[in-house]
Structure 1
């Protein structure tokens, strides 16, 4: 697991955690189970840099629970996290999105193999741009 990839996803996890905290503060969910869930979330975030492989499984479970327990924020879960943790998280991604992430991953590996720079976010933006046949040719 590339360190850059890990750091990117840790930032996304921190952002998602702040959303979860806000949901709790808005009293949209039962407080006791929410506090326990946040504890598990924090444990996963701390374990991820130490034991990335073992933490993947916990991460999959937690990402799936975020979507199932908090459907009101499911649309705010960064898609990169679903791809990063994989497994059961793929059930929440349409085929077109999975195809895009697979192509993005292939581009990343190709760039690394050729010692070329690779910017995940820039490439993702480029790949998700709509292709239009109406664009005038200069």
Structure 2
């Protein structure tokens, strides 16, 4: 069963939080500053799960992950960059943005038609090479 788009991104945020906790446990960052950042991250995650998310707060937190923790930048789920948009898109190449845009358009079309939509599956299909069957 497909999860909702919001649930999918909340799960990715929770996963990213686990990575951030591990970075702190390995003493790779200043402890007090890290603890304060995790508190702010938790607020964004809580608001996201409550569907009260202001995207600019999420953008700010995700961008700070890249600035504060460059050692884990490659572990930040690409879906979160697209989900929060704005300044987060600076961390995505144009080709990747085009793929996410196409999947998002398909999501909106499915939503308007009252159809189920599996974000992960559609993203995987869009990432296939051009000559591969997509459906």
Same fold, judged at TM 0.5 (above): yes
Q: Does 1:124 align with 2:117?
A: no
Q: Distance in 2 between matches of 1:130 and 1:24?
A: 38
* Mapping 1:30-49, distance limit 5 Å: 30-48=30-48, 49=50
Partner SS for 1:131: coil
Residue equivalent to 1:74 = 73
Once the two structures are superposed, what CA deviation does each residue of 1:76-112 show, in whole Å capped at 9, x if it has no partner? 0001111111110011011001111100001111112
TM-score by length of 1: 0.88
Q: Distance in 2 between matches of 1:114 and 1:51?
A: 25
Higher relative contact order (CA 8 A, sep 6+): 2
* Mapping 1:96-115, distance limit 5 Å: 96-115=95-114
Report how far residue 115 of structure 1 moved.
2.4
Aligned length: 129
Once the two structures are superposed, what CA deviation does each residue of 1:18-55 show, in whole Å capped at 9, x if it has no partner? 00000001111111111110010011111222522x3x
Unaligned runs of 5+ in 1: none
Report how far residue 6 of structure 1 moved.
1.3
Report how far residue 75 of structure 1 moved.
0.6
Report how far residue 117 of structure 1 moved.
2.2
Unaligned runs of 5+ in 2: none
Larger radius of gyration: 1
Q: Distance in 2 between matches of 1:50 and 1:4?
A: 12
Once the two structures are superposed, what CA deviation does each residue of 1:47-75 show, in whole Å capped at 9, x if it has no partner? 222522x3x11110000000111111001
Residue equivalent to 2:4 = 4
Greater percentage in helix: 1
TM-score by length of 2: 0.90
